[in-house]
Amino acid sequence: PVFHRRVRHRNRPHTAGGPVVSVQGNGNAARVIAGTRRARKEKIRPGMTLPQARAILPKLIARGRDAECERTAQEALLEIAETFSPRVEDAGDGVVFLDVDGMGAHFPDETAMAKAMLRAVEMGAIPARVGIAGRKLAARVAAELPKTPTVVAPGEETAFLAPLPLTRLTP
C-alpha cells in the first residue's frame, strides 16, 4: 500500500521510524502520495498538499517520488513473480498479479505458496504483502490487509469483501 515510500526508503534507510512522506509535484502544489506509519498516525493522508501535511506535523520530512527506483523495484517484483508462474500481469505501483492455477503441485497449500512468495520478495529487500483469491479484486484487497499472507478460499470472495469498508475497494 505504500510502495512509493518503501521503494524510496530502501535506498535511504536513515529515515526509518521518522515522519516521512513521499510527494509528487513541487512547492505548494506537491501532494502526499504515501507516508510512514508515524505520519499516518498523525492523520497525514495521500492527496494532502505538502503545506497541509506540514501544518499538522511541522517536522515532517518530504521526499520526492523516485521514478527510477520505482521502475527498478517493479521490474524486480515481476522477475520474482515469474519464478512462481508464467502468467504474470504488471499492474504498476508495486502490484503484480499472477495466475497460480496449477501451481499447487509445488506447495502443500496456498498459504505455503504465499509465504514462499513473501520470502522471495523480501530477499530482494522489497517489503511485500500477498493475497491469494479467485478474483483479482479480492486478491488485491487481501494483499492490502495488514495480516499477510491472506488467502481467500475459492468461492468465498464475496463473503470476504462484504464486511470490509468501501475505501478498501478504491482502485
CA distance 36 to 27: 20
CA distance 149 to 114: 6
CB of 23 closer than 8 Å to CB of 31: yes
Residue pLDDT tens, the chain, 171 long: 456 555 655 555 545 567 888 888 888 889 998 888 888 889 999 899 999 999 999 989 888 877 888 888 889 889 999 999 999 999 988 889 999 887 777 888 889 999 999 999 888 777 788 999 999 999 999 998 888 899 999 999 999 999 988 877 765
**Average pLDDT along the chain:** 85
